[in-house]
A = this chain, B = another copy of it.
Amino acid sequence: MAERWSFLDTFEPNFRPLVVIELAKGTKEETIEWFTKRIVDKKTNGGEYSMIFCAQLLVKPLIMENGDKNIYLVGASHLRLLLGAETVGLVKECNDNSMRTFTYSSRKTFKDFADDNHNFLTMAECQYIIKHELDNLRAKDEKIIPGYPQAKLYPGKSIVRRLLTSGILVQIFPLHDREELKKLRHSWYGRVKVGYQPLDEIRCYFGETIALYFGFLEYFTFALIPMAVIGIPYYVFAWEDYDKYVMFATFNLLWSTVILEVWKRICALMTYRWGTLLMKRQFEEPRPGFHGVLGINPVTGREEPVYSSIKRQIRIYLVSLPFVCLCLYFSLYVMMIYFDLEQWALDYHEENQSNFSNLMLFVPSIIYAVVIEIMNRIYRYAAEFLTSWENHRLESSYQNHLILKVLVFNFLNCFASLFYIAFVLFDMKLLRQSLATLLITSQILNQFAESLLPYWLQKRHKKRMKKRMCSLKTDTDLSLVEQVNLEKEMGTYFGTFDDYLELFLQFGYVSLFSCVYPLAAVFAVLNNITEIYSDALKMCRVYKRPFAEPTANIGVWQLAFETMSVISVVTNCILIGMSPQVNALFADSKTDLILTVALVEHLLLAIKFIMAFVIPDKPRDIQLKLAKLEFESLEALKQQ
């Protein structure tokens, strides 16, 4: 392996900038020199452990119009990128149409590979490889960052991470490819058309995580259409018969199981095609924020920071878990105060009947909404801090724990009041009203706050920038300096978390109380259609290009949606049991009613679990392909 790296030259005739590094203005020369040397140095120059101490990439300073020299462009030679693709374990299609882990030595067997074909790796993959190398630049024997004695280092600490936390490094982001982006925009949302999104192109440009989100959004929208179609006549004809409601709810519950199971299969199909289904979890390097004493990883045998799993468990179960429970309790407490305030405002209005008292009726809701928003934000920070403090080795594990924490809290904040109205106040009319209000307002606010507002701000900013540069060029004509200047001011996309959360809560509105408000699915479908366009706009126009992140599935969100669908069986059964029509049917015995409802609920749950068990998670041909690869890999081990 080592000798291959020495062939690499740091000089490349046609330097293609891929990633931008923005340092703080006035960063000391010696720091810049040390940092760029680390990025450029050959892997073979550092002795035994050189693999994690140097990156062997290309760096060029970008001199701005005002003479500032704090921005650097990072690229890499074609050969370096191919070796990097091997390091990160990219999976590519072979000439025989099977998917295999890319290795430099077997490069000739891969489809579309040619030594002069620089498009074998997509730009997003190249940027991912560079990011991976930069993130894994680790301190050797430095105690501090040269020039900054207060920025401590220890062996194995990620250099980029420390530079970021000390404020020396402002940001690292991948450059947009104006040509490609224009093409993508056109095929994605440029023309009015009915059809699927260009998911493969999205994946090539933005990476698997984002493509999978859009894939899920599209799939989910299609999956909701049957519910919406069945839901419309309930509204149009104002059906109130209980048997129709029961039918709708039953269909809803079984349907939601089916769509979640089928999604797993579709997801496996997509990620197999993209190669991420085969990428091994073991290859994941420790996340940049992970710290610990330098030791030997028992799996790979490589030297890297290690951290005791027991310590992590203790932190999770003895600190994080109690904290989350406390927050949940506090959130419920606040909700109870809100209902008290509401009651008090109502009493006050009935006593006084003045304009002022009429106005007072809205005060509790407004206060509650504001308080919830504040709590959500504070909790989010706390959750991020705690999860980071739990010191997960893998980014995926960190994400899962963070998502789980935020999810539970958001679920409670969103639905606790609806649960209270439904199962404590027993007010179906108020429930339907609250549900409709919450669903529609949250959708409108989200669309506005998420995409249109930033888009408008971004547009204004761009115009101002262009005016300042005294030129009115179109996007594609921008010089590199102008492009970097424009992009570095764009907002940062913080991942698909909030987008999934929005879908998750929408799924809750649609399924938890579906038999009370069948129209919810219709609104969800309408929202999702515009959501696709506004999210696409957001990705292409509003935010900096995000780094591609390979993923094989939607991770903990699958579990979250499945849990929601189990909870919705319980809530819907109770709601149907509480409806006056059903009550009239069991007029003589309330006990019989409850027993029947409980029986039906258990039956539905049993059917759900059997269905989830019977439907295989992966389509048969994917199963076969995976089995074949595993068989080959074992045969290979035998040959050794």
A residues with a Cβ closer than 8 A to B are: 86, 89, 101, 103, 105-106, 280, 282-283, 298-300, 309, 570, 590-591, 594-595, 598, 602, 620, 624, 627-628, 630-634, 636-640
Contacts and interface: CB of A to CB of B under 8 A. Distances in A.
B640 A636 contact: yes
Contacts of A300: 628, 631
Which of A598, A602, A620 counts the most B-chain CB atoms under 10 A from its CB? A598
Contacts of A639: 105, 636, 640
Contacts of A598: 594, 598
A376 to B, nearest CB: 24
A638 to B, nearest CB: 5
Nearest to A589: B590
A627 B282 contact: yes
A390 to B, nearest CB: 15
B298 A624 contact: yes
B636 A633 contact: yes
A283 B101 CA distance: 22
Contact of A633 (B106, B624, B628, B634): B634
A484 B300 CA distance: 52
A627 B299 contact: yes
A101 B639 CA distance: 11
A101 B591 contact: no
Which 9 A/B pairs are nearest by Cβ-Cβ distance?
A: A299-B627, A103-B638, A636-B637, A633-B637, A299-B628, A633-B633, A636-B636, A282-B631, A594-B594
Nearest to A281: B627
A282 to B, nearest CB: 5
B620 A280 contact: no
Given A89-B634, A299-B628, A594-B594, 13 more contacts: A101-B637, A103-B638, A105-B639, A106-B640, A280-B634, A283-B634, A298-B624, A300-B628, A309-B620, A594-B598, A632-B637, A633-B633, A636-B637
Given A298-B624, A309-B620, A624-B298, A634 B101 contact: yes
A628 B298 contact: yes
A347 to B, nearest CB: 29
A338 B280 CA distance: 58
22 contacts: A86-B638, A101-B634, A101-B638, A103-B638, A105-B639, A280-B631, A282-B634, A283-B634, A298-B628, A299-B627, A300-B628, A300-B631, A309-B620, A590-B591, A591-B591, A594-B594, A594-B595, A594-B598, A632-B637, A633-B637, A636-B637, A639-B640
Contacts of A591: 590-591, 594
A420 B4 CA distance: 75
Contacts of A283: 631, 634
Contacts of A627: 282, 299
A298 B590 CA distance: 59
B101 A624 contact: no
A272 to B, nearest CB: 15
A631 B299 CA distance: 7
A187 B184 CA distance: 73
B595 A630 contact: no
Nearest to A594: B594
A630 B594 contact: no
Contacts of A632: 637
A395 to B, nearest CB: 17
A296 to B, nearest CB: 11
Contacts of A631: 280, 282-283, 299-300
A615 to B, nearest CB: 12
Contact of A570 (B298, B570, B602): B602
Contacts of A103: 638
A401 to B, nearest CB: 12
Nearest to A629: B637
Nearest to A624: B298
Nearest to A614: B317
A124 to B, nearest CB: 23
A637 B98 CA distance: 14
A620 B393 CA distance: 15
Contacts of A595: 594
Contacts of A594: 591, 594-595, 598
A502 to B, nearest CB: 25
A630 B280 contact: yes
A584 to B, nearest CB: 17
Contacts of A298: 624, 628
A300 B638 CA distance: 14
A90 to B, nearest CB: 12
A563 B628 CA distance: 33
Nearest to A590: B591
A105 B638 CA distance: 8
Contacts of A105: 638-639
A638 B637 CA distance: 10
Contacts of A299: 624, 627-628, 631
A91 B496 CA distance: 43
A2 to B, nearest CB: 14
A106 B280 CA distance: 26
A634 B106 CA distance: 14
A280 B591 CA distance: 53
A629 to B, nearest CB: 9
Contacts of A570: 602
Nearest to A638: B103
